[in-house]
A and B are shown apart, each in its own frame.
Chain A
Amino acid sequence: MIPERKETNQHLSDNLFLPLENSSYHAETIAKPSISYWKDAWMRLSKNKLSMAGLVMLILLVLMAIFGPLLTPYSYDHQVLTEGNLPPSSEHWFGTDNLGRDMFTRTWNGARISLFVGFMAAIIDFIIGVAYGGFSGYKGGRTDNFMMRIIEILYGLPYLLMVILLMVVMGPGLFTIIIALTVTGWVGMARIVRGQVLQLKNAEHVLASRTFGASAGRVIRKNLLPNTMGPIIVQMTLTVPTAIFAEAFLSFLGLGVQAPVASWGVMANDGLSVILSGHWWRLFFPAFFISLTMFAFNVLGDGLQDALDPKLRK
């Protein structure tokens, strides 16, 4: 148990509580450290107010995506051509777009796609990227060499071309979007994890674990990953807005959900010329919620990083 040594010491009271809880837990179950690691992480996370706020925000966003469109009498695709570009008012909370559709309803309807795409991209990138990068870095040598060349090929191939072909072969839809995002999305994560693993695999605690005959999977999971969580989480939080905008780009090629449904990314793209025309609400609301999502992921991610860092365990 290494005491927390941060610049801010006002959390001293926290430290007084934690060891008690921890030790009582240990006394009851004589659990393996693996269980207590995640439990402990969650407990530490729940103590972090900022991260909890991020979590609450994400839950709220998801709830609004589900129920938001039901809060207005309008449907996301109903046009009233004579009521185009109205500013926010008590009737249209977020104003209307150029075809007179209610922006509030459209924003939350779009949230469904954007949040789904963002979450899915982050999760898939995490799974493939960590497994691939972890394995490559841990094995090293020839295996690493070979696996990294495959990544180079994926980087080098023109993405736009791949995606157009994918669209022609699979047709439009959410599933196609997810595939398109996954094809190359994970390579960044894989390279970061590999870099970290290369650095850590010769550290004392890892060497110790290997000496005791731990399997590769176990060493990666128990010794390496917890110590590389920081960059992994940052990379994951970066994936979310990237995926949200990539979805807009992919709908441009015809891969995505079809009009009149519009995701946040598509709305932000459509609304670009409002910077000149002054219909600010058409750009502001989608852009704001993308930022808010990103913000929530970030503070949650930071909390997670602190919570998962074995060095900070109490």
Chain B
Amino acid sequence: MAKYVMNRLFAMVITLWIIVTITFFLMHAVPGSPFNQERNTSEAVQQNLEAHYHLNEPVFIQYAIYIKSLATLDFGPSIKQSSTSVNEMIGRGFPVSAELGITSLIIAIISGIVLGIMAALRHNGAIDYMAMTFAVIGISVPNFIMATLLIQQLAVTWEIFPVATWASPMHMILPSIALATGPMAIIARLTRSSMIEVLNQDYVMTARAKGMTTFQIVMKHALRNALLPVITILGTLVAGVLTGSFVIEKIFAIPGMGKYFINGINDRDYPVIMGTTVFYSAFLIMMLFIVDIAYGILDPRIKLHKRGE
């Protein structure tokens, strides 16, 4: 096991390096420049700006410089916000995004799984239909519509919640709900579907025959196996949600890091593109690794590494 973990950690560094390299050349291949703006500028001004950020050097040299600073975990300064370093941006934005993300993940996971189990137990019953309809709406109404509706109803019309910004726990409620709806619906759907499958397995039948209650069966036997697909998607979901949602953060004016992913690319702010990509990829790869470990814990039959290797 220890060796397996070591191998995976080594692979992680290689994977990250490949991602960094591809992204670096990809972003320089895309047309545009960080200094394009609607307003007037002159050639000389553009050149001064490029020289200032070493963008006039050959791409390979820039790559070498970047890898060198990356080795010391220094992502460099943002070009658009010249007084801020990318490290600072992530340092400021990530805690906010993570706070919002964890809140909505808790909402999504708990309510999604409960909803899914209830629907599966009452397969083709009223609860099943309600839960499914709910899930359909949750998935097919995108979060920007959901968010705008929530604000309009609960904040403007009823004035129960503040409209936007990130000042108090009350400010967290609406964005958390808006962000949780989609994942919750997906988790509910997946839980229900694999639960129905598991409930028809022989060992569940046996348990039932032995006189265990439904609750006991679900908790002891079924849930464990039914959760596998949910765990699979959780890996990417956690990474995605915790590093911030551009749309939700924009609508609710939340100072998270979601906007850097999109704005960095729109502005061709090269250091921001690289910094956010490295951060997100590292986070994601870590989560996928944890998911693989979780497979083995949930189902001892799954072996990712050969014994004795």
Direct contact of A and B (CB under 8 A): yes
Give Cα A287 to B235, complex, Å.
Answer: 29
* Separation of A275 and B157 alpha carbons in the complex (Å): 12
Nearest chain B CB to A53 CB, angstrom units: 12
Q: With a CB–CB cut-off of 8 A, which chain B residues contact A293?
A: 140
What chain A residues lie within 8 Å of B205 (beta carbons)?
5
Known: A160-B265, A230-B193, A230-B196. A294 touches B139 (CB 8 A): yes
A276 at the interface (CB under 8 A from B): yes
Task: Tell me, yes or no, whether B64 is within 8 Å of chain A by CB.
Answer: no
With contacts A157-B277, A158-B273 taken as known, whether A291 is within 8 angstroms of B196 at the C-beta atoms is no
Known A-B contacts A8-B123, A191-B232, A268-B145; A158 and B139 likewise in contact (beta carbons under 8 Å): no
Question: Which stretch, B45-53, B70-78, B298-306, touches the partner chain A?
Answer: B298-306
Query: Which among B194, B265, B280 is the interface contact of A161 at CB below 8 angstroms?
Result: B265
Contact A305 B196 (CB under 8 A): yes
- Taking the closest CB of chain A, its distance from the CB of B243, in whole angstroms, is 12
A127 to B152, CA, bound (A): 42
- Please, how many angstroms separate the alpha-carbon atoms of A141 and B186 in the complex? 30
* Contact partners of B281 in chain A: CB under 8 A: 152, 155-156
Cβ–Cβ contact B285 & A165, under 8 A: no
Known: A156-B281, A158-B265. A275 touches B125 (CB 8 A): no
| Prevailing SS type, chain A contact patch | helix
Note all chain A residues with C-beta closer than 8 A to B304. 140, 144, 198
Q: How far is the CB of A189 from chain B (nearest CB, A)?
A: 10
Q: Bound complex: CA of A196 vs CA of B194, how far in Å?
A: 10
CB <8 Å contact, B27 and A157: no
In the complex, what residues of A have CB within 8 A of residue B201's CB?
Answer: 311
Q: Mark A284-305, 1 if CB is under 8 A from B, else 0.
A: 0001001101110011001001
Residue of A164, A165, A268 most packed against chain B (CB within 10 A): A164
- Interface residue stretch chosen among B14-22, B54-62, B83-91: B14-22
Q: Does B164 contact A (CB under 8 A)?
A: no
A177 at the interface (CB under 8 A from B): no
Determine if B136 and A276 form an interchain contact, defined as CB atoms under 8 angstroms apart. no
Residues of A within 8 A of B238 (CB): none
Interface residues of B in 256-297 (CB under 8 A from A): 261-262, 265, 273, 276-277, 280-281, 284-285, 288, 295
Inter-chain contacts of A149 with B (CB < 8 A): 11, 14-15
In the complex, the answer to whether A283 meets B123 with C-beta atoms within 8 Å is: no
Verify B277–A298 contact, CB threshold 8 A.
Answer: no
Provide the residues of chain B in CB contact with A143, threshold 8 Å. Answer: none
A160: nearest residue on chain B (CB-CB)?
Answer: B265
A162 touches B26 (CB 8 A): yes
Max count, chain A CB within 10 A of own CB: residue among B19, B29, B140, B196: B140
At the interface, yes or no: A120 with Cβ under 8 Å from chain B?
A: no
Q: Of A31-39, A74-82, A233-241, which binds chain B?
A: A233-241
Q: By the criterion CB–CB under 8 Å, are B22 and A153 in contact?
A: yes
A275/B136 contact (C-beta < 8 A), A156-B284, A156-B285, A305-B193 known: no
Q: Which of B19, B125, B132 contacts A298 (CB 8 A)?
A: B132
Question: Closest residue to B231 on the A side, CB-wise?
Answer: A195
CA distance A164 to B30 in the complex (A): 7
The 7 closest A-B pairs by CB, nearest first: A156-B281, A294-B140, A231-B229, A156-B19, A230-B193, A195-B232, A291-B140
Binding site for B on A (CB under 8 A): 5-8, 140-141, 144-145, 148-149, 152-153, 155-158, 160-162, 164-165, 168, 188, 191-192, 195-196, 198-199, 202-203, 227, 230-231, 233-235, 237-238, 241, 245, 268-269, 272, 275-276, 283, 287, 290-291, 293-295, 298-299, 302, 305-306, 309, 311-312
**Can you show 13 pairs from A to B with CB atoms below 8 A apart?**
A8-B125, A141-B305, A152-B284, A156-B277, A188-B236, A199-B228, A231-B194, A237-B189, A238-B189, A241-B140, A269-B144, A272-B144, A275-B148
Q: B residues bordering A, Cβ < 8 Å?
A: 11, 14-16, 18-19, 22-23, 26-27, 29-31, 121-125, 132-133, 135-137, 139-142, 144-145, 148-149, 152, 186, 189-190, 193-194, 196-197, 200-201, 205, 225, 228-229, 231-233, 235-236, 261-262, 265, 273, 276-277, 280-281, 284-285, 288, 295, 299, 301-306
